[in-house]
Amino acid sequence: MNKLFLACLLFISQLSIVHALPKQLAVPGGVVNIDVGAIDTPAPKVLFQKKRVLVIENNHRWFAVVGIPLKTKAGNHAILVNSQEQESLIGFEVIDKEYPAQYITIKNKRMVNPNPVDIKRITSERPAINKALNTWTEQPVDSLTFSLPVQGRLSSPFGLKRFFNNQPKNPHSGLDIAATTGTAITAPAAGLVINTGGYYYNGNTVFLDHGQGLVTGYFHLSKITVKTGQLVESGTKLGEVGSTGRVTGPHLHWNVYLNKTKVDPALFVPELNQTTETTETIQ
């Protein structure tokens, strides 16, 4: 009986490891999972476009989980893998993706065309935001499976080509979840609060570090309920939905960053990928 119980635990453990990777989507703004060696050797150091890449164990192999910038051109690309034995390149192909356009009317015209005072504020805020996004800690990442940080309607997907008052702006860098003001926002996975603040465009903001360059951001909050330096578990309340910053209504704008690039948060949420096939990997 004990042997059977232990075998069941081992089986469950192996299943969790197999499903630790995000859904692969080799497009600009997507993620690729690349086999970089067996776990009987130390985890290699991996770079993509000269930026460190997260490496995690999956099914007794090391995998590089690579974020693909939205500006990446379709075609062949490669990661640089530095192991104890050698330095090598592993190639992968990026397929082009045409994201749809979204036209939004913003009543506060200064949120579209800031005045000199606004620009001074935006410039002063940039270093703190960049510091959070450039965070790299060597701690291992337990899982890349996230829960949704708030219950609500998925109102705007990642990657939309955005036009504010008919003016072209940066593509939509996250996933918008519409909910009533005051709805609780919770951590989708364990992490460390590395920044909180009120910013011009993002409004009230929280950034979490999950390890190895995996950072998540939560914008437009009405209330922040955590402090910088606080360790949080999956499900810890981070704050409440609001409409601070550049918005048209109350919602959470949720960002996920890998190797200092914004990627589609939906790829990390199993419930948003239930109709898709099993995650593929590149070897």
Output the pLDDT for position 142.
Answer: 74
**CA 213 to CA 137: how far, in whole Å?**
7
**CA 208 to CA 266: how far, in whole Å?**
17
Task: Determine contact, residues 219/252, Cβ cutoff 8 Å.
Answer: yes
Give the CA dihedral 269, 272, 275, 277, nearest 10 degrees. Answer: -30
HEC assignment per residue over 7-39: HHHHHHHHHHHHCCCCCCECCCCCEEEEEEEEC
Average pLDDT in the 131-135 region? 96
> Average model confidence (pLDDT) for the chain?
90
Average pLDDT in the 79-100 region? 94
Query: Which domains are delineated in the chain?
Result: 2-97 (2.60.40.1590), 101-270 (2.70.70.10)
Task: Please say if the pLDDT value at position 117 is more than 70.
Answer: yes
Bridge partners of residue 197, in order along the sequence: 205
Output the pLDDT for position 13.
Answer: 41
Q: How many Cβ atoms sit within 10 Å of the Cβ of residue 147?
A: 15
Q: Where residue 274 falls among pLDDT bands split at 50, 70, 90?
A: low
Q: Which residues contact 262 (CB under 8 A, 6 or more apart)?
A: 29, 67, 69, 70, 173, 174, 255, 256
Q: Where residue 16 falls among pLDDT bands split at 50, 70, 90?
A: very low
Q: How many Cβ atoms sit within 10 Å of the Cβ of residue 175?
A: 25
Average pLDDT in the 253-280 region? 82
Distance of CA 170 to the CA centre of its chain: 17
Task: Please say if the pLDDT value at position 4 is more than 50.
Answer: no
Output the pLDDT for position 203.
Answer: 98
Task: Determine contact, residues 237/224, Cβ cutoff 8 Å.
Answer: no
Q: Which residues contact 112 (CB under 8 A, 6 or more apart)?
A: 106, 164, 165, 167, 169
Helix (H, G, I), strand (E, B) or coil at 46: strand
Between residues 95 and 10, which one has the greater pLDDT?
A: 95
Output the pLDDT for position 143.
Answer: 77
Q: What is the percent of the chain with per-residue pLDDT over 70, rounded to a whole number?
A: 90
Task: Please say if the pLDDT value at position 14 is more than 80.
Answer: no
